[in-house]
Each structure stands twice: as C-alpha cells, then as structure tokens.
C-alpha cells in the first residue's frame, strides 16, 4: 500500500502501525469495509468527520492507478 503519502500514514505510534488516513486515526480498511458493504462515501464521511472527501477521492484515484496495467 502507499505508505506515508499525503493520504495514507503508517506509524507504530498510531493504531499500532495500521494504515490510516493522514492526520487521523481512521484506518483505510474502514473505508474499504464501508464500500464493500454497499455504503456510500457520504455515509463514511458522516461517521468519520476527521477524514476529508478530498482524502477519500485521492485514495480512490491512487488505487485505480495502482490497478491500471502499465503500457
């Protein structure tokens, strides 16, 4: 995963090294769980107001880039 980017932070001092949204204690996996469960981004953001919409959109874009095959 994209450790210590503008969107994702990994530190042993925060949530035991679990990847979280930067400057929050919200695990990335929580967003993925919401989306897998059919929840909307708005529902996720309502539940975790420390995460910004920009962070979620950037994270999704980064994940799409990672999945795209290189030419």
pLDDT in tens, 2-61: 556 789 999 999 999 999 999 999 999 999 999 999 999 999 999 999 999 999 999 999
Q: Are 24 and 45 in contact (CB under 8 A)?
A: no
d(CA 23, CA 62): 18
DSSP-derived letter for residue 70 is: P
pTM for this entry: 0.84
- 8-61: CATH, from 1.20.1580.10, 1.10.10.10, 3.90.1170.10, 3.50.50.60: 1.10.10.10
Structure-derived torsion over alpha carbons of residues 13, 16, 22, 26, reported in degrees to the nearest 10: -130
The span from the CA of 28 to the CA of 63, in Å, is: 12
Q: Residue 3 has which token pair?
A: 């450790």
């Amino acid at each position: 995963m994209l450790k210590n980017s503008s969107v994702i932070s990994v530190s042993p001092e925060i949530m035991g090294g679990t990847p979280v949204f930067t400057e929050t204690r919200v695990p990335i996996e929580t967003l993925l769980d919401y989306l897998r469960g059919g929840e909307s981004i708005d529902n996720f953001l309502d539940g975790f107001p420390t995460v910004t919409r920009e962070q979620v959109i950037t994270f999704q874009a980064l994940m799409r880039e990672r999945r795209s095959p290189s030419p």
